[in-house]
Amino acid sequence: MRFDARTALRDLPGTGHNRWHPAIPPLLRVAPGATLELDLRDGMDGQVPSAADGAALALDLGRGHPLTGPIAVAGAQPGDLLEVEIVAIEPAREGFTVVLPDHCLLAHRRLERFVVHWSIARGFARSPQLPGVAVPDASFLGCLGVAPSPERLRQIVARERALARELGIALPGPTAAGAIPAEEPIASEGLHTVPPREHGGNADVREWRPGTRVLFPVEVPGALLSVGDAHFAQGDGECAGSALEMRAVVRLRIGLRRGAARALGLTAPAFERPAGAVACGERPVFATTGISVDGDGRARHLDVRTAAIAALEQLVDWIAATRGWRPEQALALASVAAHLRIGSLVNAPNAVVSAQLPLDVFETGTPAGRSGRPAGELLSRRSRAPSAGRSTT
Protein backbone atom coordinates (compact mmCIF):
# COMPACT_ATOMS: atom_id res chain seq x y z
CA MET A 1 0.00 0.00 0.00
CA ARG A 2 1.93 2.95 -1.32
CA PHE A 3 0.63 6.53 -1.28
CA ASP A 4 1.86 10.04 -0.50
CA ALA A 5 2.15 9.88 3.28
CA ARG A 6 2.49 13.67 3.43
CA THR A 7 -1.18 13.92 2.46
CA ALA A 8 -3.58 13.87 5.43
CA LEU A 9 -5.78 10.84 5.89
CA ARG A 10 -8.93 12.94 5.52
CA ASP A 11 -7.75 13.91 2.02
CA LEU A 12 -7.02 10.27 1.06
CA PRO A 13 -9.60 8.39 3.14
CA GLY A 14 -9.24 5.21 1.09
CA THR A 15 -5.74 4.63 2.47
CA GLY A 16 -6.47 4.01 6.14
CA HIS A 17 -8.51 4.80 9.24
CA ASN A 18 -8.19 6.40 12.69
CA ARG A 19 -10.67 4.36 14.72
CA TRP A 20 -10.79 0.69 15.75
CA HIS A 21 -13.97 -1.14 14.70
CA PRO A 22 -14.56 -4.67 13.40
CA ALA A 23 -16.82 -3.43 10.58
CA ILE A 24 -14.15 -1.34 8.82
CA PRO A 25 -13.70 -3.10 5.46
CA PRO A 26 -10.20 -4.30 4.57
CA LEU A 27 -8.21 -2.33 2.00
CA LEU A 28 -5.96 -5.29 1.22
CA ARG A 29 -6.26 -9.07 1.45
CA VAL A 30 -3.21 -11.32 1.77
CA ALA A 31 -2.36 -14.92 2.54
CA PRO A 32 -0.07 -16.09 5.35
CA GLY A 33 3.51 -15.87 4.12
CA ALA A 34 2.95 -12.56 2.35
CA THR A 35 5.43 -9.70 2.60
CA LEU A 36 3.88 -6.24 2.76
CA GLU A 37 5.33 -2.83 2.02
CA LEU A 38 3.31 -0.01 3.54
CA ASP A 39 3.52 3.77 3.65
CA LEU A 40 2.87 5.21 7.11
CA ARG A 41 1.82 8.74 7.99
CA ASP A 42 3.22 10.40 11.08
CA GLY A 43 1.21 9.92 14.26
CA MET A 44 -0.31 13.42 14.11
CA ASP A 45 -1.41 13.13 10.47
CA GLY A 46 0.78 15.90 9.12
CA GLN A 47 -0.40 18.58 11.55
CA VAL A 48 3.15 19.63 12.50
CA PRO A 49 4.71 21.40 9.49
CA SER A 50 8.45 21.92 9.39
CA ALA A 51 8.25 25.61 10.34
CA ALA A 52 5.70 25.28 13.16
CA ASP A 53 6.48 26.47 16.67
CA GLY A 54 4.64 25.56 19.83
CA ALA A 55 2.86 28.87 20.34
CA ALA A 56 1.23 28.84 16.92
CA LEU A 57 0.60 25.11 16.64
CA ALA A 58 -3.07 24.09 16.62
CA LEU A 59 -3.50 20.34 17.04
CA ASP A 60 -6.66 18.31 16.59
CA LEU A 61 -5.80 15.24 18.65
CA GLY A 62 -8.91 13.54 17.27
CA ARG A 63 -6.97 13.10 14.03
CA GLY A 64 -4.16 11.29 15.79
CA HIS A 65 -2.73 7.92 14.76
CA PRO A 66 -3.84 7.57 11.15
CA LEU A 67 -3.36 3.87 10.47
CA THR A 68 -2.58 2.08 7.23
CA GLY A 69 -5.06 -0.78 6.80
CA PRO A 70 -7.04 -2.78 7.65
CA ILE A 71 -5.35 -5.80 6.06
CA ALA A 72 -7.28 -9.08 6.04
CA VAL A 73 -5.28 -12.30 6.39
CA ALA A 74 -6.82 -15.33 4.70
CA GLY A 75 -7.76 -18.11 7.10
CA ALA A 76 -7.21 -16.14 10.32
CA GLN A 77 -9.85 -17.02 12.90
CA PRO A 78 -10.48 -16.23 16.59
CA GLY A 79 -8.16 -18.36 18.71
CA ASP A 80 -5.27 -18.04 16.24
CA LEU A 81 -2.14 -15.95 16.71
CA LEU A 82 -1.34 -13.50 13.93
CA GLU A 83 2.43 -13.22 13.51
CA VAL A 84 3.70 -9.87 12.23
CA GLU A 85 7.43 -9.91 11.60
CA ILE A 86 8.91 -6.43 11.29
CA VAL A 87 11.44 -6.79 8.50
CA ALA A 88 12.52 -3.18 7.95
CA ILE A 89 11.56 0.41 8.76
CA GLU A 90 12.75 3.14 6.39
CA PRO A 91 12.55 6.56 8.09
CA ALA A 92 11.61 9.75 6.29
CA ARG A 93 14.22 12.51 6.19
CA GLU A 94 12.50 14.61 8.83
CA GLY A 95 10.61 14.22 12.06
CA PHE A 96 9.35 16.14 15.07
CA THR A 97 8.72 15.98 18.80
CA VAL A 98 5.99 17.99 20.54
CA VAL A 99 5.88 18.61 24.27
CA LEU A 100 2.15 18.33 25.04
CA PRO A 101 1.60 20.14 28.36
CA ASP A 102 -1.78 18.57 29.09
CA HIS A 103 -0.76 15.06 28.07
CA CYS A 104 2.81 14.75 29.34
CA LEU A 105 4.03 13.12 32.53
CA LEU A 106 4.74 16.55 34.08
CA ALA A 107 1.33 18.10 33.39
CA HIS A 108 1.32 19.57 36.90
CA ARG A 109 4.25 21.86 35.94
CA ARG A 110 2.17 24.05 33.56
CA LEU A 111 4.71 23.81 30.80
CA GLU A 112 4.44 25.51 27.43
CA ARG A 113 3.94 23.64 24.19
CA PHE A 114 7.30 23.17 22.51
CA VAL A 115 8.22 21.71 19.11
CA VAL A 116 11.51 20.11 18.11
CA HIS A 117 12.10 19.64 14.38
CA TRP A 118 14.55 16.89 13.44
CA SER A 119 16.60 16.23 10.33
CA ILE A 120 17.25 12.52 9.78
CA ALA A 121 20.32 11.40 7.86
CA ARG A 122 22.88 8.58 7.98
CA GLY A 123 21.32 6.91 10.99
CA PHE A 124 21.02 9.96 13.27
CA ALA A 125 18.51 12.72 14.02
CA ARG A 126 19.65 16.26 14.79
CA SER A 127 17.74 19.45 15.59
CA PRO A 128 18.52 23.17 15.91
CA GLN A 129 16.14 23.24 18.88
CA LEU A 130 18.42 20.81 20.77
CA PRO A 131 21.91 21.81 19.62
CA GLY A 132 24.76 19.38 20.10
CA VAL A 133 22.48 16.34 20.23
CA ALA A 134 22.57 13.37 17.83
CA VAL A 135 19.92 10.70 18.44
CA PRO A 136 20.76 7.29 16.91
CA ASP A 137 18.24 5.36 14.86
CA ALA A 138 16.06 3.16 17.06
CA SER A 139 13.06 3.02 14.74
CA PHE A 140 10.00 1.06 15.82
CA LEU A 141 6.24 0.93 15.30
CA GLY A 142 4.26 2.71 17.99
CA CYS A 143 0.81 1.55 16.89
CA LEU A 144 0.15 -1.96 15.61
CA GLY A 145 -2.95 -4.05 16.16
CA VAL A 146 -5.88 -6.09 14.94
CA ALA A 147 -9.59 -5.31 15.02
CA PRO A 148 -11.42 -5.86 18.31
CA SER A 149 -14.36 -8.21 18.28
CA PRO A 150 -17.84 -6.67 18.76
CA GLU A 151 -17.87 -8.15 22.27
CA ARG A 152 -14.45 -6.69 23.07
CA LEU A 153 -15.51 -3.30 21.72
CA ARG A 154 -18.57 -3.19 23.99
CA GLN A 155 -16.47 -4.31 26.97
CA ILE A 156 -13.88 -1.58 26.38
CA VAL A 157 -16.46 1.17 25.94
CA ALA A 158 -18.26 0.16 29.15
CA ARG A 159 -15.17 0.06 31.35
CA GLU A 160 -13.68 3.29 29.96
CA ARG A 161 -16.97 5.16 30.45
CA ALA A 162 -17.12 3.86 34.01
CA LEU A 163 -13.55 5.07 34.62
CA ALA A 164 -14.33 8.50 33.15
CA ARG A 165 -17.27 8.85 35.54
CA GLU A 166 -15.16 7.68 38.47
CA LEU A 167 -12.36 10.15 37.74
CA GLY A 168 -14.55 13.00 36.52
CA ILE A 169 -12.41 13.49 33.42
CA ALA A 170 -12.81 13.08 29.69
CA LEU A 171 -11.16 10.07 28.07
CA PRO A 172 -10.57 9.48 24.34
CA GLY A 173 -13.58 7.20 23.86
CA PRO A 174 -15.80 6.79 20.81
CA THR A 175 -16.57 10.07 19.05
CA ALA A 176 -17.72 10.71 15.50
CA ALA A 177 -15.82 14.02 15.32
CA GLY A 178 -12.89 13.53 12.95
CA ALA A 179 -13.55 9.81 12.59
CA ILE A 180 -12.37 8.03 9.44
CA PRO A 181 -14.24 6.22 8.07
CA ALA A 182 -17.11 8.60 8.74
CA GLU A 183 -19.85 6.08 7.98
CA GLU A 184 -22.18 5.03 10.77
CA PRO A 185 -22.19 3.13 13.02
CA ILE A 186 -18.39 2.97 12.71
CA ALA A 187 -17.86 6.70 13.30
CA SER A 188 -19.80 6.88 16.57
CA GLU A 189 -18.89 3.40 17.87
CA GLY A 190 -15.24 3.15 16.83
CA LEU A 191 -12.53 3.30 19.48
CA HIS A 192 -10.06 6.17 19.40
CA THR A 193 -6.54 5.01 18.61
CA VAL A 194 -4.78 6.80 21.51
CA PRO A 195 -5.23 4.17 24.25
CA PRO A 196 -3.60 0.75 23.80
CA ARG A 197 -5.88 -2.19 24.52
CA GLU A 198 -6.00 -5.99 24.43
CA HIS A 199 -6.16 -6.11 20.64
CA GLY A 200 -3.01 -3.98 20.36
CA GLY A 201 -2.91 -0.37 19.24
CA ASN A 202 -0.82 2.50 20.53
CA ALA A 203 1.40 0.47 22.85
CA ASP A 204 4.66 2.37 22.14
CA VAL A 205 6.73 -0.72 22.92
CA ARG A 206 10.23 0.14 21.74
CA GLU A 207 11.04 -3.50 20.98
CA TRP A 208 8.52 -3.54 18.11
CA ARG A 209 11.39 -2.93 15.72
CA PRO A 210 13.09 -4.83 12.86
CA GLY A 211 13.85 -8.40 13.88
CA THR A 212 10.82 -8.67 16.18
CA ARG A 213 7.79 -10.86 15.58
CA VAL A 214 4.70 -9.33 17.19
CA LEU A 215 1.94 -11.81 18.03
CA PHE A 216 -1.73 -10.83 18.20
CA PRO A 217 -4.59 -13.00 19.41
CA VAL A 218 -7.07 -12.92 16.52
CA GLU A 219 -10.51 -11.63 17.55
CA VAL A 220 -12.36 -11.44 14.19
CA PRO A 221 -12.15 -13.47 10.98
CA GLY A 222 -9.28 -12.16 8.86
CA ALA A 223 -7.66 -10.46 11.90
CA LEU A 224 -7.79 -7.02 10.16
CA LEU A 225 -4.27 -5.78 10.86
CA SER A 226 -3.48 -2.04 10.88
CA VAL A 227 -0.16 -0.21 11.32
CA GLY A 228 0.99 3.34 12.07
CA ASP A 229 2.73 5.84 14.34
CA ALA A 230 6.35 5.08 13.39
CA HIS A 231 8.99 6.49 15.75
CA PHE A 232 12.67 7.09 15.04
CA ALA A 233 13.43 6.97 18.76
CA GLN A 234 11.64 7.07 22.12
CA GLY A 235 12.52 6.93 25.78
CA ASP A 236 10.61 4.59 28.08
CA GLY A 237 7.15 5.99 28.76
CA GLU A 238 7.14 8.65 25.99
CA CYS A 239 7.07 11.16 28.86
CA ALA A 240 6.61 14.40 26.82
CA GLY A 241 3.48 13.01 25.17
CA SER A 242 5.21 12.33 21.85
CA ALA A 243 8.39 10.63 20.65
CA LEU A 244 10.57 11.37 17.64
CA GLU A 245 7.62 11.13 15.26
CA MET A 246 8.09 10.50 11.55
CA ARG A 247 6.66 9.17 8.34
CA ALA A 248 8.08 5.85 7.23
CA VAL A 249 7.95 2.90 4.87
CA VAL A 250 7.66 -0.43 6.67
CA ARG A 251 8.09 -3.99 5.43
CA LEU A 252 6.25 -6.74 7.27
CA ARG A 253 6.06 -10.51 6.85
CA ILE A 254 2.77 -12.12 7.84
CA GLY A 255 2.41 -15.51 9.49
CA LEU A 256 -0.43 -17.38 11.15
CA ARG A 257 -0.22 -19.80 14.08
CA ARG A 258 -3.49 -21.67 14.07
CA GLY A 259 -5.07 -22.18 17.48
CA ALA A 260 -1.96 -20.89 19.27
CA ALA A 261 -3.65 -18.07 21.20
CA ARG A 262 -6.20 -20.50 22.56
CA ALA A 263 -3.58 -23.17 23.32
CA LEU A 264 -1.31 -20.76 25.21
CA GLY A 265 -4.02 -18.70 26.87
CA LEU A 266 -2.73 -15.48 25.32
CA THR A 267 -5.32 -12.69 25.40
CA ALA A 268 -3.07 -9.69 24.69
CA PRO A 269 -0.19 -8.97 22.29
CA ALA A 270 3.11 -10.74 22.81
CA PHE A 271 6.39 -10.57 20.90
CA GLU A 272 9.56 -12.53 20.33
CA ARG A 273 13.04 -11.76 19.09
CA PRO A 274 14.59 -15.04 17.93
CA ALA A 275 18.30 -15.66 18.29
CA GLY A 276 18.89 -15.45 14.54
CA ALA A 277 17.15 -12.09 14.25
CA VAL A 278 18.63 -10.04 17.08
CA ALA A 279 21.49 -7.59 16.72
CA CYS A 280 24.92 -8.42 18.06
CA GLY A 281 24.95 -8.20 21.84
CA GLU A 282 21.17 -8.58 22.25
CA ARG A 283 19.54 -11.59 23.86
CA PRO A 284 16.68 -13.50 22.22
CA VAL A 285 13.45 -12.89 24.13
CA PHE A 286 9.81 -13.82 24.41
CA ALA A 287 7.63 -11.11 25.92
CA THR A 288 4.04 -10.49 26.86
CA THR A 289 2.25 -7.17 27.32
CA GLY A 290 -0.26 -5.88 29.82
CA ILE A 291 -2.43 -2.79 30.14
CA SER A 292 -3.85 -1.18 33.27
CA VAL A 293 -7.05 -3.25 33.42
CA ASP A 294 -7.35 -5.49 36.47
CA GLY A 295 -8.48 -9.10 36.68
CA ASP A 296 -12.08 -8.04 37.21
CA GLY A 297 -12.08 -6.10 33.94
CA ARG A 298 -11.95 -2.72 35.67
CA ALA A 299 -9.83 0.06 34.18
CA ARG A 300 -7.17 1.54 36.48
CA HIS A 301 -6.09 4.91 35.16
CA LEU A 302 -2.46 4.71 33.93
CA ASP A 303 -1.67 2.27 36.76
CA VAL A 304 1.73 0.73 36.01
CA ARG A 305 1.45 -1.93 38.71
CA THR A 306 -1.82 -3.21 37.24
CA ALA A 307 -0.27 -3.31 33.76
CA ALA A 308 2.79 -5.12 35.13
CA ILE A 309 0.61 -7.74 36.82
CA ALA A 310 -1.31 -8.30 33.59
CA ALA A 311 1.90 -8.76 31.59
CA LEU A 312 3.42 -11.04 34.23
CA GLU A 313 0.34 -13.26 34.37
CA GLN A 314 0.51 -13.77 30.60
CA LEU A 315 4.22 -14.58 30.80
CA VAL A 316 3.77 -17.07 33.65
CA ASP A 317 0.97 -18.81 31.71
CA TRP A 318 3.18 -18.95 28.60
CA ILE A 319 6.12 -20.46 30.50
CA ALA A 320 3.86 -23.00 32.20
CA ALA A 321 2.18 -23.99 28.91
CA THR A 322 5.39 -24.35 26.91
CA ARG A 323 7.49 -26.05 29.60
CA GLY A 324 4.79 -28.17 31.20
CA TRP A 325 5.53 -26.51 34.54
CA ARG A 326 3.43 -25.47 37.50
CA PRO A 327 2.66 -21.74 37.75
CA GLU A 328 4.90 -21.53 40.82
CA GLN A 329 7.87 -22.77 38.79
CA ALA A 330 7.14 -20.28 36.04
CA LEU A 331 6.84 -17.40 38.51
CA ALA A 332 10.12 -18.35 40.18
CA LEU A 333 11.88 -18.19 36.81
CA ALA A 334 10.25 -14.85 35.97
CA SER A 335 11.35 -13.46 39.32
CA VAL A 336 15.01 -14.15 38.64
CA ALA A 337 15.24 -13.70 34.85
CA ALA A 338 12.37 -11.64 33.38
CA HIS A 339 12.40 -7.87 32.93
CA LEU A 340 9.40 -5.55 33.29
CA ARG A 341 9.68 -2.65 30.86
CA ILE A 342 7.42 0.39 30.60
CA GLY A 343 6.09 1.01 27.12
CA SER A 344 3.74 3.94 27.59
CA LEU A 345 2.66 6.15 30.49
CA VAL A 346 0.79 8.91 28.66
CA ASN A 347 -1.85 7.20 26.48
CA ALA A 348 -4.79 7.50 28.89
CA PRO A 349 -6.39 5.51 30.29
CA ASN A 350 -4.03 2.57 29.73
CA ALA A 351 -0.39 2.23 30.71
CA VAL A 352 1.56 -0.53 28.93
CA VAL A 353 4.18 -2.81 30.47
CA SER A 354 5.98 -5.70 28.77
CA ALA A 355 7.34 -8.74 30.62
CA GLN A 356 10.44 -9.90 28.72
CA LEU A 357 12.07 -13.28 29.28
CA PRO A 358 15.53 -13.88 27.74
CA LEU A 359 15.30 -17.27 26.04
CA ASP A 360 18.97 -18.09 26.55
CA VAL A 361 18.22 -18.99 30.18
CA PHE A 362 16.98 -22.33 28.85
CA GLU A 363 19.99 -24.63 28.48
CA THR A 364 17.98 -26.93 26.23
CA GLY A 365 17.14 -24.12 23.80
CA THR A 366 13.57 -23.20 22.89
CA PRO A 367 11.05 -23.94 25.67
CA ALA A 368 9.26 -27.26 25.16
CA GLY A 369 5.56 -27.93 25.46
CA ARG A 370 4.02 -30.89 27.25
CA SER A 371 4.75 -33.05 24.22
CA GLY A 372 8.48 -32.41 24.70
CA ARG A 373 8.71 -30.70 21.31
CA PRO A 374 10.03 -27.13 21.13
CA ALA A 375 7.19 -24.67 21.57
CA GLY A 376 8.30 -22.64 18.58
CA GLU A 377 8.01 -25.75 16.40
CA LEU A 378 4.85 -26.99 18.08
CA LEU A 379 2.96 -23.72 17.72
CA SER A 380 4.61 -22.22 14.64
CA ARG A 381 5.62 -24.76 12.00
CA ARG A 382 2.72 -27.09 12.56
CA SER A 383 0.14 -24.32 12.60
CA ARG A 384 1.36 -21.90 9.95
CA ALA A 385 -0.36 -21.99 6.61
CA PRO A 386 1.84 -22.58 3.54
CA SER A 387 3.65 -19.53 2.25
CA ALA A 388 1.81 -17.67 -0.47
CA GLY A 389 4.91 -15.82 -1.62
CA ARG A 390 5.33 -12.08 -1.82
CA SER A 391 2.23 -9.91 -1.95
CA THR A 392 2.62 -6.15 -2.15
CA THR A 393 0.58 -3.28 -3.43
Domain for residue 344, yes or no?
A: yes
Tell me the pLDDT of the chain averaged across its residues. 89
CB 258 within 8 A of CB 223: no
Q: Is the pLDDT of residue 140 over 70?
A: yes
Q: What is the pLDDT, as a whole number, of residue 331?
A: 92
pLDDT in tens, 94-136: 999 989 888 888 888 888 889 999 999 999 999 999 999 999 9
CB 130 within 8 A of CB 116: yes
Domain hosting 234: range is 9-381
* CA 96 centroid distance within chain: 20
Q: What is the pLDDT, as a whole number, of residue 51?
A: 81
Domain for residue 393, yes or no?
A: no
Domain for residue 1, yes or no?
A: no
CA–CA gap between residue 206 and residue 137 (Å, rounded): 12
Higher-confidence residue of 240 and 261: namely: 261
Domain for residue 264, yes or no?
A: yes
Domain for residue 324, yes or no?
A: yes
Q: Is the pLDDT of residue 392 over 60?
A: no
Mean pLDDT over 68-97 rounds to 97
Going from the C-alpha of 111 to that of each of 42, 60, 96, 140, the distances in angstroms are 24, 19, 18, 28
Domain for residue 388, yes or no?
A: no
Q: What is the pLDDT, as a whole number, of residue 278?
A: 65
Q: Based on the structure, what is the number of domains in the chain?
A: 1
Q: Is the pLDDT of residue 292 over 60?
A: yes
pLDDT in tens, 318-367: 999 999 998 988 998 998 899 999 999 999 999 999 999 999 899 865 55
Q: What is the pLDDT, as a whole number, of residue 82?
A: 98
CA-based nearest residue to 354, from 246, 203, 218: 203
Q: What is the pLDDT, as a whole number, of residue 63?
A: 83
Domain for residue 389, yes or no?
A: no
The residues pairing with 99 across neighbouring beta strands, listed in sequence order, are 114
CA-based nearest residue to 27, from 60, 88, 67, 69: 69
Q: What is the pLDDT, as a whole number, of residue 375?
A: 43
Q: What is the pLDDT, as a whole number, of residue 374?
A: 40
Q: What is the pLDDT, as a whole number, of residue 236?
A: 86
Local confidence band at 379 (pLDDT 50, 70, 90 cut-offs): very low
Q: Report the SS3 class of residue 131.
A: coil
Domain for residue 278, yes or no?
A: yes
Going from the C-alpha of 300 to that of each of 4, 153, 218, 291, 347, the distances in angstroms are 39, 18, 25, 9, 13
Q: What is the pLDDT, as a whole number, of residue 275?
A: 74
Q: What is the pLDDT, as a whole number, of residue 384?
A: 36
Q: What is the pLDDT, as a whole number, of residue 383?
A: 36
pLDDT in tens, 178-232: 899 999 999 999 999 999 999 999 999 999 999 999 999 999 999 999 999 999 9
Mean pLDDT over 363-384 rounds to 43
pLDDT over 70, % of the chain: 91
Q: What is the pLDDT, as a whole number, of residue 197?
A: 97
Q: What is the pLDDT, as a whole number, of residue 110?
A: 83
Q: Looking at residue 333, which CATH number applies to its domain?
A: 2.60.120.580
Q: What is the pLDDT, as a whole number, of residue 279?
A: 65
Going from the C-alpha of 260 to that of each of 30, 76, 321, the distances in angstroms are 20, 11, 11
Mean pLDDT over 362-389 rounds to 44
CA–CA gap between residue 229 and residue 245 (Å, rounded): 7
